[in-house]
A and B are shown apart, each in its own frame.
Chain A
Amino acid sequence: MRRPGSLKLLVLLVVAGCKTQPPPDPCTSSLRATPARLLTRFEVDNTLRDLLADGTRPAQSGLPAEPLALGLDNNTDVYTVTQPFQSQLLDLAEAAATRAVRDHFTDLVPCSGQDLACGSQFIESFGGRAFRRPLSGEELDTFNQLFDTALTAEGFNAAVETTVTAFLMSPQFLYRLEPFDETEGAQQLDAYALASRMSYFLWGSMPDEVLLGSAATGALLTTDLEAQTARMLKDPRAAEPPAHFFSLWLHADAISGLEKDPAMYPAFTPALRTSMKRSLELFVSDTFAKSPTMSTALTSSTLFVDDQMGGMYGTGPVTPGSGFMRVEMPQAQRTGLTTQPGFLAYLSAPDQSSPVRRGVFVLEKVMCLTVPPPPPSVNAVPPDVDATSTTRERFAVHTTTAGCSGCHTLIDGIGFGFENYDGMGAWRDLDNNKPVDATGEVTQATDEALNGPYNGSRELLTRLATSRQVTDCMATQWYRLALGRVETEGDRCSVTQSQEAFFEAGGNFDGLRAAIVKSPGFRAHVREAAP
């Protein structure tokens, strides 16, 4: 169902195609410019896979980690190159070039002459894929010069290797650069730039030949946009950005550094930690491999376990060496993304569960509510563990103390719902030999249907999964991911369109992504007036 707003936009675009000056569009008139975006490690690895058939994912451990802005790794305002980045990139580019020449030489070089003419053909074909658009004459010249020098010094194969290294270190490869014409304000985005925006959002990788072809004819800017979006969403690569997004969202990386109090959790070992992280990643990939909805993501009862995790997480033992098993758990025991063992272990203290951290996560990341900080006079310390009380009894002091109870009724009202999961994310019916009380109450939701008492995380999450507040919250976070920046007032119209489309699509993530691609904010090209 196309919204009236986007119909109007299409009309405007058609008019723009006829070279008439369109009136200012309220959806784009106050948009921020989309700055040049540096490829993240995730994007570099995917791009190397598609560009060089290199599946080694060298950037993940070989380049510095990105700063996280509101939990996302691709925020262009904070993700910039550093000294370690450059020297590590040089190592990475050299090694990738060596592998490419060794393992995929014939795919890389489209001709058999070991001379400069063949070198030029290689530069033109490879360069057009590395830079995601045809090279300019000047660019061709600089790379031909490099090739020539290397050919004389070290021979043909070494010249290819040297040239690939230089391509991978060039700004045209590392950044998504989007050229402007002379005018200020909103203007037509270059078709190749749009192709890259789409491919990095939908695939986390470079455009393929079909997409570049659509950009070459200009069809992508007009009639072909929706067809390309639909095609790309059906491609297996489309499952990867959601998997990556939710790994960030669930702090999968932090699980690798998790420590537990051995007195309290003797079963917690580095091997278990590694398995928990992998289990979480497998769950996310599996869930997003088949066009999922908010509802499956938040309520699936699937769990992946290996021999480290088997037994502890309610599945029975798993034969060592047999890898991970996909298990459908009893519905009460696992309910989607936020009940994955590694994630719940992360949202815990070293010696007990943490209703506060769990509650704050749901409020901030699932419901997009801002939780006010504790007042300065308060010691924000978890209560000491003792063997006679339940976690809930110990945390109850928050909700009964004046000055704390305001916020903690809100926070713990949600966090207590997860009390059936201990500090390692394992299911428990008893806490210190007393029955777990996992009742709670949602308060202060802007979606009235969310407010009210519930019993246990499954009831809570089922309610959240279909709430408009929750789908809106998710749509906003995906819009940030798509644009590589935090939304501003100028994005309101695009964000609203995306939220509505997501809800109308029944919380289907493909519907959300298609809507974001169509939104004016995603496609606008704004040159901000010089200050």
Chain B
Amino acid sequence: MNPSRRDVLLGGTALLASARAFGQSARPKRFIAMYFPNGCFPQSWFPGGGETSFTLASSHASLEPYKQHCLFFAGLDLKVAVSGPGEQHQRGIGAFLTGQTLQTGTFVGNDGTTSGWANGASLDQLLIPLVGRGSVAPSLQLGVRCNERDVSGVISYSGAAAPLLAQNDPSQTFKTLFGQVPGPPDEMERRRRRRASVLDAVKKQFPISKRNLSKADAERLDRHLDEVRELETRVAGLPDNPNCPPPAAPPDVAFTSEASMGQVAKLQADLLVKAFECDLTRVATIAFSDAKNHIGMPFIGITSGVHNISHYGDSNPDRAELATRDRWVTEQLAYLVKKLKETPDGNGTLLDNTLLMLGSELGQGNTHSHDNVPLILAGHGAGFRMGRYLKYNRTSWNDMLLGIYKGFGGTGDTFGAAGFTTGALPHLT
């Protein structure tokens, strides 16, 4: 359960086996993890009522039509994020999908303390060998103004200290998935041949270059070569989707600006659904900004920094503005659920074969606590019994990560850093 980077990249070989493991379903399983920073406004987040009879809180109004496709949670603690290097936001985002502590390093956190990257692979990457890979990319890391280029802006890791940084520009997402805007077939073919011979010559440079380097440098070049091979597969595979013509290229947007977040979120979501529909990829993460932002969200009327708002005391009426942000983030989940539900996939819809996860790195921003961290799951991709509200009692977040991993057919008794898993989360199925 701690695969090497090569195993993750070669996840394709597991495809056939996993398709058989899922028996009757010929359609691949997919996974989307969505992250938002600074915790939630609990008063408007947690549902009221019991497991099967519950009412949604105001932040989740947009999920009302999809309630039976969702699981709502309370009582999960991101316990592993309490210890190790870094400040609370850094530790929280690092552990969000990895269940790991951080390494020591040079990334300066909100309060001046420093840390490195997370110490292991993230759930999304560990799922690739289980679900297999699509024809273009083993996974996508999408960002919606996730600008931090260090531990505060990364949720996906292919291994310890091997971060996968988010792509914030929908145009780049489009390029990754669909290559160039299509041209005449002979021009496409000429380009493909040329690229293949360029990458072939580039690959030949690696054994030559590696001689006389230190072991660490030779390993660095090996990792680089893995990425070149990955690109080679993608370049070779691009025109092979006759039944899935690419959508129109997205418009240019000011993707670094918080004012564009709404537009970017929709463009990224649309491209992702298309990628699932065409089986270009099966695993994705979306980060709605990073764990070090002091931004407003002017497009939904929040002009003061969300990070600061999240810090306000519970009695401060301004802190309720955080609920506006929570509502917007939940709407992004609802939008994806809706699109997936509308898209046929085999005999059902994409929602039948996808699991979505939405959560944060903190419980509450004002206490920086990692207790009762917000989480929603949606979709039927992991075979969980949906339409319920599950209340746990100080249960480790790593149990939940393991529960999802096993839901996709994974095995093992622990997830992430040693000592933070008591077993796969019960009651999911």
Residue of B nearest to A33 (CB): B214
Q: Which of B149, B217, B221, B296 contacts A261 (CB 8 A)?
A: B296
Q: Which residues of the partner chain B approach A64 to less than 8 Å between Cβ atoms?
A: 149, 165, 167
From B16-24, B304-312, B353-361, the one touching the partner chain is B304-312
Q: Please tell me if the beta carbons of B312 and A177 are within 8 angstroms of each other in the complex.
A: no
Cα–Cα distance between A486 and B87 once the two chains are bound (Å): 20
The answer, yes or no, to whether B108 is at the interface (CB within 8 Å) is yes
**What residues of chain B have their CB less than 8 Å away from a CB belonging to chain A?**
87, 105-108, 111-114, 116-117, 137, 145, 147, 149-150, 162-165, 167, 172, 175-176, 190, 193-195, 197-202, 204-206, 208-209, 211-217, 220-221, 223-224, 227-228, 230-231, 234-235, 254, 256-259, 294-296, 298, 303-305, 308, 311-313, 318, 366, 368
For the complex formed, measure the closest distance between the CB of B72 and the CB atoms of chain A, giving whole angstroms.
28
Q: Render A137-150 as a binary contact track against B, CB cut-off 8 A, 1 for contact.
A: 01100110110011
* Distance (whole angstroms) from the CB of A152 to the closest CB of chain B: 11
Contact B107 A69 (CB under 8 A): yes
| Interface 9-residue window, one of A8-16, A373-381, A397-405 | A373-381
- Are A139 and B305 interface neighbours, CB within 8 A? no
Interface centre among B195, B209, B234 (most CB of A within 10 A): B209
Residue-wise interface mask of A (158-180) relative to B, using a CB-CB cutoff of 8 A (1 in contact, 0 not) = 10001001100111101101011
The one of B212, B220, B256 in contact with A80, judged by C-beta atoms closer than 8 angstroms, is: B220
Interface check A230, CB cutoff 8 A: no
Q: Let me know if B214 and A166 touch, CB within 8 A.
A: no
Residues in A with CB closer than 8 Å to B303 are 259, 261-263, 350-351
Bound complex: CA A527 to CA B216 (Å): 10
Which B residues are in CB contact (< 8 Å) with A153?
193-194
**Which residues of chain B are within 8 angstroms of A35 by Cβ–Cβ distance?**
214, 216-217, 220
Q: Is the CB of B105 within 8 A of A83?
A: no
> A67 interface residue, CB < 8 Å from B?
yes
- In Å, the complex CA distance between A387 and B209 comes to 65
Residues of B within 8 A of A171 (CB): 205-206, 209, 221, 224
- Considering only CB atoms and an 8 Å cut-off, how many residues of chain A contact the other chain? 78
Check if A84 is an interface residue, CB within 8 A of chain B: yes
Closest 5 CB pairs of A and B: A373-B111, A179-B212, A69-B106, A146-B201, A36-B217
Q: Judge if A113 is at the interface, Cβ distance under 8 Å.
A: no
B149's contact among A67, A81, A351, by CB below 8 Å, is which? A67
| Bound CA span A199–B16, Å | 51
**Do B224 and A66 touch across chains, with their CB atoms under 8 A apart?**
no
Q: Which residues of B contact A68 (CB under 8 A)?
A: 107, 149-150
Pick from A66, A165, A528: contact of B198, CB below 8 A. Answer: A165
Tell me which of B105, B201, B224 contacts A69 (CB under 8 A): B105
- Chain A positions within 8 Å of B, measured between CB atoms, are 33, 35-36, 64-71, 75, 77-78, 80-88, 90-91, 94, 136, 138-139, 142-143, 145-146, 149-150, 153-154, 158, 162, 165-166, 169-172, 174-175, 177, 179-181, 256-257, 259, 261-263, 270, 349-351, 360, 364, 370-374, 376, 379-382, 384, 486, 527-528, 530
B176 adjacent to A84 (CB under 8 Å): yes
Across the interface, which residues of B come within 8 angstroms of A162, CB to CB? Answer: 194, 197-198
Q: How far is the CB of A404 from chain B (nearest CB, A)?
A: 13
CA distance A145 to B198 in the complex (A): 11
Cβ of A177 and Cβ of B175 under 8 Å apart?
A: no
CA distance A170 to B202 in the complex (A): 5
Residues of A within 8 A of B137 (CB): 83
A91 vs B254: C-alpha distance in the bound complex, in angstroms?
Answer: 21
- List chain A residues, Cβ under 8 A from B228: 86, 169
* A contact residues around B305 at 8 Å (CB): 349-350
Cβ contact within 8 Å between B256 and A257: yes
Q: CB distance B230 to A83 under 8 Å?
A: yes
Distance (whole angstroms) from the CB of B112 to the closest CB of chain A: 5
Pair B106/A78 contact, Cβ less than 8 Å? yes
B308 to chain A: closest residue by CB: A381
In the complex, the answer to whether A259 meets B259 with C-beta atoms within 8 Å is yes
Q: Give Cα A145–Cα B162 distance, bound, in whole angstroms.
A: 34
Chosen A-B contacts, 10 in total, with CB atoms closer than 8 Å, are A67-B149, A67-B165, A78-B107, A84-B176, A175-B209, A177-B213, A349-B294, A351-B303, A379-B366, A381-B311
With both beta carbons as reference points, the residue of chain B lying nearest to A381 in the complex is identified as B311
The answer to whether A77 and B106 have CB atoms under 8 Å apart is: yes
Residues of B within 8 A of A376 (CB): 368
Chain B residues with CB under 8 A of A69: 105-107, 150
B312 contacts A379, C-beta separation under 8 Å: yes
Structural contact, B221 and A270, CB atoms closer than 8 A: no
A142-B205, A261-B304, A379-B366 given; A372·B112 CB < 8 A: yes
